[in-house]
Each structure stands twice: as C-alpha cells, then as structure tokens.
A and B are shown apart, each in its own frame.
Chain A
Amino acid sequence: MAQMRTPIESGVPDNKPYLHPTLLKNYGNWKYHDRPRPGVLHHVSHSGDEVWSVRAGTQRQMDVYTIRKLCDIADTYAEGHVRFTIRSNIEFMVSDPNKVAPLINALEESGFPVGGTGNSVSMIAHTQGWLHCDIPGTDASGVVKALMDELYDEFKREDMPNRVHLSTSCCEINCGGQADIAIIVQHTKPPKINHDLVANACERPAVVARCPVAAIRPALVNGKPSLEVDEKKCICCGACYPPCPPMQINDPEHSKLAIWVGGKNSNARGKPTFMKMVASGLPNNAPRWPEVSEMVKKILYTYKADARPWERLSDWVERIGWPRFFEKCDLPFTKYLIDDWRGSRANLNASTHIRF
C-alpha cells in the first residue's frame, strides 16, 4: 500500500491574500459607511479611499457551475474579490463607483438578486435537512427556496422598520439559530421504538443520559434488553434518536412546523433576546410549505405596518406587549405557549403591567 499522506495541519488560513486591495490597504482604518441603494454599501476610509460592496443572494448549496458563474462576474465586473456573509449572501467589492451599475446588471441578469442590506429581509440562515442530516423532520434548502421566492421583493427593498433575520431548522436541535422569525420542525409524538434493534445499535446508558426529562428507562422487551419511554413525560425532543436510531422520532404525519419570533443577537438598544414560540402545528407540506409562508408573511407584514423606525421585531413586541402581538397577528395564544421548563417563572408576568 502506498504511503499515506500526512495532513498539513494549517488550521485557519490567512485571509490577507484574498482581501480586496482597498480593504487590505485600509484595514482597521474605516471611518463610516452609507448605502447608496439597497444591496450596495459604500465605505469611506480615514485615508479618503472608498469602496463599494454589492451584495447578492445565493442558494447557499451551490453547484460548481454557479460558483464559476459568480467568479466570471467577479472577474469581469468586480476586480476578482468576493466574500460571503453569515447568511450566505455573496459580496463583490469594487473601488470605482462606475463599476457598481454594470455589476448589478450582470448579477441580476444571471439570476442573483441584489439586496439583503439595511432594513431588508436577508437570506434565511438554514440547516441541512433531507439533503444531508440524519435526523431531519423536513428539508432545509427547499423550505428556504420556497420562502425566499415569497420574500424576494423584501430582500431587494430596504423598507422594513429594521433588519429582519430569518432562520429555519429541520428539528428542535435548531442548528439554524436565533432569528427575528424562525421556523422549526417540532416532533409531536414520542419515538416509536424498534425493540429488535435496540440491543445491537444503541449504547443504552448513553441514550438514557441524553433524555432531558429522564423519560427513558432500560427495559426487557420480548426477552431482549431494550428501552422504554414514559410517554407522559416525553417532550418529543428527538435527542434520543441520534445515539439510538431505532427510537424513530420522525413521523411524516405528526412532525409539524412551529414559528418563533423575537430573537435578536445584536446588543443594540436592548440586550440580546432569545426567540419565543408563537405558533405550532403547521403541516410539513413539501415542496412549497404554503401554510408556513402564509403565517411568516402575516407576522412579517404586521410588524412592517406597525413597528416604528429602528424597532427590531423584539423591540416592537416589547412596546406593544405579547397579548397585542397575538391579537394583531391573529394568532391563537394556547396553553402550550406558557413555559414550564426550568427557569420558567422568570417568563411569567409578576406585575400588574397590563395594557388594555
């Protein structure tokens, strides 16, 4: 056998060779920025240098032809340098304002919408889904494509009260993360256990330890060592599935989508906030998930109509209060939205602050 190649453990690559020359020259010396139009940032350095960045949406999971197309555009119109944002938008930097319009045209003609800056709805941060994860209740790229088709104009405009970040997650583990509006798959039934397979496939103490509510017990089933679940305790989180695939949590019928709102990662104005669950029970209707987009749009446009300038979704709800949020968005407030997990009393209203 040929000798195996030893890896070069180089870690994080240096970004200096990839920086646009104007960025490299003015590194750490920027003075201010403005936005000449949606999708374009204009940064001015203390040195007087200026740079224009054009931001475009991508499908995130890109085929090599798409990547090469983006490279062609960057070579022809944008001095050969790009960067990606945390929400999988691509940015092209140019040092000449006259290059901005042709670059925008080239991007849009090739099907990449220009936008995602300022008070727009940016691209949705998303997870893996059926394309690659081993526990997904739904797809990720598909949900995002379907939703971004609906929000296309909001990506290209900057007329929300403040920026709006969305995320999707294909199970409650929520790799997608915190967002102003998040869509998360929720299992609604305890796992179905294939007892014949447990003994071979699962390290039982590890599975027992994984359960957040201690609902799993070792058991003998049909004379074989297996596991059983106290279904009254089970919160259907799915955490037992990865270490023990015979504990089948996915269910084509009963895995539903839930909507969460008001997550904010920035410290601007208020402290960062976690997002809160406001709706559940939406059907997992591939390939377009119409019930989900309808509800997301309802929340989004209620916010747009009602919030004041610079209010993020969480700032808006803080001003109008949760009861009015549910009223205005026409969402039922059910008992499932009252937290009963540890620390939950901090989320209850210990005051007479009530709006009438």
Chain B
Amino acid sequence: MAKKMHATPMLDELESGPWPSFVTGLKRLAKDKDYMVDLMGQLETSYQTRKGYWKGGTVGVFGYGGGVIPRFTELKDAEGKPQFPDAAEFHTLRVQPPAGMHYNTDILRKMADIWERHGSGLIAFHGQSGDIMFQGAKTDKVQDAFDELNELGFDLGGAGPAVRTSMSCVGAARCEQSCYDEARAHRQVLNTFTDDIHRPALPYKFKFKFSGCSNDCMNSIQRSDMAVIGTWRDNMRTDETLARKWFEKHGMNELVNDVINRCPTKTIMLKEVKDVAKGDKISSVKINDTQCLEIDNSNCVRCMHCINVMTGALAHGTDTGATILVGGKRTLKIGDLMGTVVVPFMPLKTDADYQQLVELGQKVIDFFAENALEHERTGEMIERIGLVNFLEGIGLEVDANMVSTPRTNPYVRADGWDDEVAKINARKQAAG
C-alpha cells in the first residue's frame, strides 16, 4: 500500500481538459508506488516555486560509460535531508528504438512489465533524439532494469560526448516518398559506432539522422551532425490514371495555384498535349484529353512539393540515393547551424553503397574526434576551420552544390589556382 498522497493542487489542474494527461498517469502509478507519491510531491513543489530541483551525478551500468541520465533531488530540508525521500533518485535510461519506431504489443508489454518492476512505470515514447526514455529508477535498480531490457534485444543510447541515438523516418516501410532503405542505413551506420555510443570519448555529441526524402520528417538538416536525406537523379515518374483523378477532383485553379505556381524553380508547366517538349530530361503526364503537365527534370531541385500534392500521379525517379549534409545543430554555443551539403548524391542501392555510407560516417567521426575542440559540435568546427579544410580532411572533392553562392569577399590567397584547375580537368577527363 502506498503512502498518503501529497496535496497537488496545481498538478490537479492538469487533469482537466480533453488531451490525455500525464498527471493522471502519475497518479495511477502513485497508487501503489511510494516512489511516485514523492515524485509528485517534488514536481508540485516546482510548480509552486517555479524552480527545478534535480542535479546530475554519476550512475551507469556495468561496462558502459553513458546512456543513463542520473538525477538526484536538491530539494532538502534544513538538515540536508531530502524533502521527498522516496523520490530522491530519479534516473532515466535512454534506450535505442528500432528504426522507424515500430513495435508490436508483445514487446511493449514486456517493456512495461520490466519498468513497472524496476522503475517508476513512466516511459516516454520518444525523446527528441529518438530514445525510448525509461524515466525514473533508483540507483540500485538501474542495472536490473537494463539487464532485462538488454536481454529483450534493446541497448542503451548515447549521452554526453558520444555518438547519440539516431532516428529514421517510417520511410520504405510505409511511405511512397522513400528513396532508400532508411532502416538499413540507420542500423548499419549506427551499429558501426556502438563503442562510441556506449563510451563517451568524443569532443562532444554527434548525431546522425535518416530521412527518406527531402520532406525530412526527421528534421535532420537542423538537428543532426550528419543528415542522410533521400533523393533521386533521374526523371520523375508519372501515372496518368492518378493524375486525371487528381485533376477531376481538384480542378484547374488548384492545379495552377497550388502545384505549378509553388514549384520553387518554376520547372513545371501546363501545356497542350500536342506541344509537350521532347528530350531525355522531360517528364510529362496528361491531366485530361488535351492538357498535360511538363516537368524539366534538369531544373527540378527535388523539393517534393508537387509530389506531396499529387501523390502517386507524380513520383520520384528510380535512380535513388541520398544527399548528405554535415554540421546541423541547435543553439549552444555559436547559435543555430544548418547542415551543409558535403555529398550531393550518393547512390544507396547495393551492399557496396551502404558500406560507402558507413565509411563516410567513420571518416567524419574520426576527423571530428581529432580536430574539434572540447565541447565543439561538427558545425562549429567547420565554421572555425572552413569547409574546404574539412572536405580535404575526409577526402571529399569540392562541388558547386555545396554553396548557395561562391565567395563574395576577396580575402583569399589563390596562388594554387592553376594547380587546382589542372586537377579538376584531369579528373573530368579521367571520368570521361
């Protein structure tokens, strides 16, 4: 039988209203867990005083250097004793989810049982980096909980200056926009770095994220050090049945205002069927007996907009792979940075292609480990040393797709110009 509940007038407020309430969940757990009775006491105190009361520390599992986020209460009475002693420790286990965050009920029930036995019974699906967060365990229960989760086939994610847990979109499993096997890339890349996930020894955190197309459902450009985003090189595919169906339903105004006008490079045109251009970069599809859409694929920037609007009528091509960007991150320390294109296109079809992706990840991490300052993210390092030094460090050739514009300031020493031109010409020639 659990101890008496603390009064929680402010938290109680959060039980009203239609959205599912985490407070109701906390109360259900508190019915037979003293742990959660006191957790609610501390949380209510935060609501009353508008202050947080957790501090970090060191708690881990045997063999690993990270993956558990330790929390100890700072809410103490005059004698230094915790005001809510049963919840004085409230550690979180970060656990890596399957790619695409798929589960069956059997595995979810097993996770719930384990966490009810060893932890608070509170689980977040998922944190912002993708971990399943098993929230709230006492120090002496962390190992037991981990052991059982680990036996189920799950492993801790990263924390601290480590490779962090990754995320991939639903992609190939259920999305027609998917341009590669996200789950495979996610698993193959991340599992190369298992050691760097479990034993934090990098200058700072490093995140990979995998999106199957440039809709970038995983928000990888802004939030990962290495973003792998699906795209294609050949022509857009079309389906006349679905195009006609779309047009019957939506009509000319929507076609013009919502599809044609919104193409960022103005590459879609409405044409009479008889006037459609010919050429190996042209895709076209009839929307009725006399008119059709014409797309000049050489000017399509693969933004996905028209494909999103006319799903199935327009679809990405079949020569698929990914664009890779490096250096995205949020605020600390120099402000927000987006990832920068470092590989405009990497095919992702064969075993060798996926191996190449893994090798690139390895090079980027090795370079980061050797060259970043302490507490410096990849994007900050690139800003400090310049993109060219970074590319040379990981052995990638420069490409005009890496910039929005060439340089505007003249402060550059260009005495190697002729050599560079010669190298680039030789390379072009070799490529035939």
Residues of A within 8 A of B416 (CB): none
Across the interface, do A266 and B216 meet the contact criterion of CB distance under 8 Å? Answer: yes
Stretch at the interface among A4-12, A187-195, A218-226, A327-335: A4-12
| A284 and B47 alpha carbons, distance in the complex (Å) | 10
Q: Are A267 and B216 in contact (CB under 8 A)?
A: yes
Contact A132 B69 (CB under 8 A): yes
User: Given contacts A145-B14, A172-B331, A288-B13, are A62 and B312 in contact (CB under 8 A)?
Assistant: no
CA distance A142 to B26 in the complex (A): 12
- Cα distance, A65 to B312, chains bound together (Å): 40
Q: Which of B162-188 contact A (CB under 8 A)?
A: 166-167, 169-170, 172-176, 178, 181, 183, 186-187
Asked if A314 lies at the interface with its beta carbon under 8 angstroms from chain B, I say no
Q: Which B residues are CB-close (under 8 A) to A13? A: 96-98, 153-155
A265 engages B219 (CB within 8 Å): yes
Using CB atoms, name the residue of chain B closest to A70. B108
When distances are taken between beta carbons in the complex, the residues of chain B under 8 Å from A355 are none
Q: Is the CB of A134 within 8 A of B187?
A: no
**Distance of A9 Cα from B193 Cα, bound (Å):** 11
Complexed CA–CA distance, A71 and B113 (Å): 13
The CA-CA distance from A267 to B213 in the complex, in Å, is 9
With A83-B100, A138-B50 in contact, do A58 and B125 touch (Cβ < 8 Å)? yes
Q: Assess the B50–A15 pair: CB atoms within 8 A.
A: no
Is B242 close to A, CB under 8 A? yes
Which A residues lie within 8 Å of B396 (CB)?
none
Interface assignment of B414: CB less than 8 Å from any CB of chain A: no
Q: How many angstroms from the CA of A304 to the CA of B217 in the assembled complex?
A: 22
Indicate if the CB atoms of B176 and A82 lie closer than 8 Å. no
Instruction: Name B173's contact: one of A23, A112, A176, A343 (CB within 8 Å).
Output: A23
Tell me if A39 is interfacial: C-beta within 8 Å of chain B: no
Q: Indicate the size class of the contact surface on chain A.
A: 35 or more
Q: Which residues of A contact B14 (CB under 8 A)?
A: 142, 145-146, 287-288
CB-contacts of B138-169 with A (<8 A): 143, 146-147, 150-151, 153-156, 166-167, 169
Q: Does B18 contact A (CB under 8 A)?
A: yes
Chain B 10-27, CB-CB to A under 8 Å as 1, else 0, gives: 110110111111110110
Contact of B303 among A61, A81, A268 (CB under 8 A): A268
Whether B336 pairs with A274 at a CB distance below 8 angstroms is: yes
Q: List, in ascending order, chain B residues with CB within 8 A of A265's CB.
A: 216, 219-223
Q: A64-B123, A130-B47 are in contact. Are A28 and B178 (CB under 8 A)?
A: yes
Question: Does A158 interact with chain B (Cβ within 8 Å)?
Answer: no
Whether, in the assembled complex, A68 has its beta carbon less than 8 Å from a beta carbon of chain B, the answer is yes
Closest residue of chain B to A74, judged by CB? Answer: B105
Cα A10 to Cα B186 in complex, Å, equals: 14
Verify A286–B10 contact, CB threshold 8 A.
Answer: yes
Given contacts A63-B121, A309-B257, A10 and B153 within 8 Å (CB-CB): yes
Q: Are B29 and A81 in contact (CB under 8 A)?
A: no
Contact status B214-A267, CB under 8 Å? yes
**Which residues of chain A come closer than 8 Å to B107, judged between CB atoms?**
18
A178–B218 CA distance with the chains assembled, in angstroms: 11
Which chain A residues lie closer than 8 Å to B47 at the CB level? 130, 139, 142, 286-287
- Neighbouring B residues of A117 by C-beta, 8 Å: none
Chain A residues near B51 (CB, 8 Å)? 250, 252
Stretch at the interface among A29-37, A94-102, A294-302: A29-37
Structural contact, A61 and B22, CB atoms closer than 8 A: yes
Bound CA–CA A266/B100 (angstroms): 18
Q: Bound complex: CA of A216 vs CA of B266, how far in Å?
A: 51
Query: Nearest Cβ in chain A — how far from B220, in angstroms?
Result: 8
Q: How far is the CB of A344 from chain B (nearest CB, A)?
A: 10
* A310 adjacent to chain B (CB < 8 Å): yes
Closest to A8 in B: B150
Given contacts A33-B311, A131-B135, A178-B223, whether A60 and B108 have CB atoms under 8 Å apart is: no
State the CA gap A315–B135 with chains docked (Å).
38
B25 contacts A28, C-beta separation under 8 Å: no
* Complex-state Cα separation, A343 to B119, whole angstroms: 47
Nearest CB of chain A from residue B54's CB, rounded to whole Å: 5
Q: Report the nearest B residue to A146, measured CB to CB.
A: B14
Residues of A within 8 A of B288 (CB): none
Query: CA separation between A62 and B216, bound complex, in Å?
Result: 27
Given A7-B63, A32-B242, also A62-B102 (CB < 8 A): no
Q: Does B191 contact A (CB under 8 A)?
A: yes
A210 to B223 Cα, complex, angstroms: 20
Beyond known contacts A86-B219, A145-B14: 10 more, CB 8 A cutoff: A12-B99, A64-B112, A65-B25, A71-B105, A113-B18, A145-B21, A177-B219, A274-B336, A287-B14, A309-B257
25 A–B contacts, CB within 8 A, in A order = A4-B63, A6-B62, A8-B151, A13-B98, A14-B98, A17-B104, A27-B172, A28-B172, A57-B20, A61-B25, A66-B20, A75-B105, A84-B103, A85-B101, A93-B174, A111-B18, A112-B20, A113-B20, A127-B128, A134-B54, A267-B221, A267-B229, A267-B304, A309-B254, A343-B335
Residues of chain A at the chain B interface (Cβ within 8 Å): 4-15, 17-20, 23-24, 27-28, 30-34, 43-44, 51, 53, 57-68, 70-71, 74-75, 80-86, 88, 90, 93, 111-113, 125-127, 129-139, 141-142, 145-146, 148-149, 152, 172-178, 209-210, 212, 237, 239, 242, 245, 250, 252, 255, 263, 265-270, 272, 274, 284, 286-288, 308-310, 341-343
What is B's interface to A at a CB cutoff of 8 Å?
10-11, 13-14, 16-23, 25-26, 28-29, 43, 46-47, 49-56, 61-64, 69, 71, 90, 92, 96-109, 111-113, 115-116, 121-126, 128, 135, 143, 146-147, 150-151, 153-156, 166-167, 169-170, 172-176, 178, 181, 183, 186-187, 190-191, 194-195, 197-198, 214-223, 229, 239, 242, 254, 257-258, 262-264, 302-305, 308-309, 311-313, 315, 330-336, 338, 374-375
The 7 A-B residue pairs with the shortest CB-CB distance, nearest first, are A32-B312, A149-B17, A63-B25, A15-B98, A252-B50, A130-B46, A267-B214
